[in-house]
Structure 1
């Protein structure tokens, strides 16, 4: 296969894999392009690649079909969790060989995608609602990860933990015990009280120094109410936490509402 032909085939295969991993409808697959490429190809490498891939690095979730269930919205995967997972898959170096702490993990989609594609050293899912934590543990196990401590430091899979974490009562020493290199949260800006609680825990996390380096932090959210987003950035300023918006990524992996306006902020803790 010529270099130009191989590059075209690689792009086609990448598109095929993304649709497969996102469980897209069969009609969305690039069947016509695939047929044309197979007809023009001098060998069988492309067909073999498609038959051998995807490799099974998909995420399986058990979640509620209701937006609010058991008194919480955390049993459903929200758009910003999908958006943050996409960004993470395209920026694996942020997580590779590092320890990540996720605030408000919900069903666990973002963290599971990171654990399967970004090779973190350890990943800590957290939430405060007992029903969410129960479902979260089930989803972690459903995807082949163990919640039992492992002494195998060379294992390819990250160490995974699920922690009950109340933003209003957790202490800085308790947060420091996680030794996080990366903090992340998705779709947790629901109103003024939540914003204040989130900024409060971020302020505590800013004291969690590891080797004199503060953890990186990324917060993804859907812009539903501009006033809530403005309150978040205002409170970050009052807490002395600088921030910048992460450039939008172009590739779409997961199925979410096309017209949702979402953003990711990188915070300097």
Structure 2
């Protein structure tokens, strides 16, 4: 039972392409040394590299190569017989061309999956932010836990959700003012004059920028309140982000 759980932990992290250092490698090595002939590695291979989701929507070539290399290291550190499937899978990936994109597959508690395509480049087309931001994942978890916010919504009353990193997207006063101006126009353009529900999630990296954003909201009369932390933990984070969600009243 414990080995099945370990395999599932590897699966969720691998399909979501989380950083390799976040995997329970030490626990895996301990189990392999205790049972050199265990089928655990073969099971992990089936749940990761050979999983149908990975076959159809694979993480980047580099990511899969590094993952398999680490699995092989753990296998070779034991006295077990060579596992041909591991080396065959690595050989297949080594023959692939380096990919410019990779996929992240987020497994949901319902058994469904959300698949996103991301650029593997840190900077592309002169811009950054071509990956899934932790603030977006955090906001999605909150939305799932607070599904009542979405009830009875249509195209006129649907809440407005923005996921951002204040020091990465709103990183100077000019951009903060542009965002606030957009929010004001959003409210003024509504024919029914009913204010939209606005929720903004962002990672606090620079407290000064965070407080500047709040001060600029106060100047134009946009009210705000901090949404309490949610208990949902659906997505795996490489490290727990310092994410805050604000509800705005415009």
Q: What range describes the TM-score normalised by the shorter chain of this pair?
A: 0.5 to 0.7
Kindly report structure 1 stretches of 4+ aligned residues shifted beyond 6 Å: none
In the TM superposition, what is the alpha-carbon distance from 1:69 to its structure 2 partner? 2.0
**SS, match of residue 243 in structure 1:** strand
RMSD: 2.8
Against the structure 1 CA distance between its residues 227 and 57, is the aligned structure 2 distance closer, same or farther, given a 3 Å change threshold? same
Number of residue-to-residue matches in the alignment:
149
Against the structure 1 CA distance between its residues 257 and 234, is the aligned structure 2 distance closer, same or farther, given a 3 Å change threshold? farther
In the TM superposition, what is the alpha-carbon distance from 1:256 to its structure 2 partner? 1.6
Against the structure 1 CA distance between its residues 194 and 188, is the aligned structure 2 distance closer, same or farther, given a 3 Å change threshold? farther
Corresponding position of 1:80: 135
> How far, CA to CA, are the matches of 1:255 and 1:66 in structure 2?
22
State the TM-score, normalized to the length of structure 2.
Answer: 0.53
Structure-to-structure mapping, 1:250-269, within 5 angstroms: 250-269=231-250
Against the structure 1 CA distance between its residues 265 and 55, is the aligned structure 2 distance closer, same or farther, given a 3 Å change threshold? closer
**SS, match of residue 82 in structure 1:** helix
Corresponding position of 1:237: 218
> How far, CA to CA, are the matches of 1:234 and 1:262 in structure 2?
19
Corresponding position of 1:4: none
Corresponding position of 2:181: 200
Structure-to-structure mapping, 1:120-269, within 5 angstroms: 179-189=156-166, 190=168, 191-192=171-172, 193-209=174-190, 211-269=192-250
**Alpha-carbon contact 2:165-2:204 (below 8 Å) kept:** no
* Contiguous gaps of at least 5 residues in structure 1: 1-15, 29-52, 100-121, 123-178
**SS, match of residue 61 in structure 1:** strand
Q: Which has the larger Rg? A: 2
**SS, match of residue 199 in structure 2:** strand
Structure-to-structure mapping, 1:5-20, within 5 angstroms: none
**Alpha-carbon contact 1:188-1:194 (below 8 Å) kept:** no
**SS, match of residue 59 in structure 1:** strand
* Contiguous gaps of at least 5 residues in structure 2: 16-22, 25-107
In the TM superposition, what is the alpha-carbon distance from 1:245 to its structure 2 partner? 0.2
Of 33, 51, 62, which aligns to 2:117? 62
In the TM superposition, what is the alpha-carbon distance from 1:57 to its structure 2 partner? 2.6
> How far, CA to CA, are the matches of 1:257 and 1:25 in structure 2?
12
> How far, CA to CA, are the matches of 1:54 and 1:181 in structure 2?
25
In the TM superposition, what is the alpha-carbon distance from 1:208 to its structure 2 partner? 3.5
> How far, CA to CA, are the matches of 1:86 and 1:234 in structure 2?
27
**Alpha-carbon contact 2:135-2:165 (below 8 Å) kept:** no
> How far, CA to CA, are the matches of 2:12 and 2:152 in structure 1?
29
> How far, CA to CA, are the matches of 1:92 and 1:243 in structure 2?
21
Structure 1, residues 19-74: CA drift from partner, whole Å, max 9, x if none?
Answer: 78x9346988xxxxxxxxxxxxxxxxxxxxxxxx9655311111112332222223
Does residue 91 of the first structure (1) align with residue 137 of the second (2)?
Answer: no
In the TM superposition, what is the alpha-carbon distance from 1:213 to its structure 2 partner? 1.8
Corresponding position of 2:12: 23
**Alpha-carbon contact 1:208-1:214 (below 8 Å) kept:** no
In the TM superposition, what is the alpha-carbon distance from 1:216 to its structure 2 partner? 0.4
In the TM superposition, what is the alpha-carbon distance from 1:268 to its structure 2 partner? 0.6
Corresponding position of 2:44: none
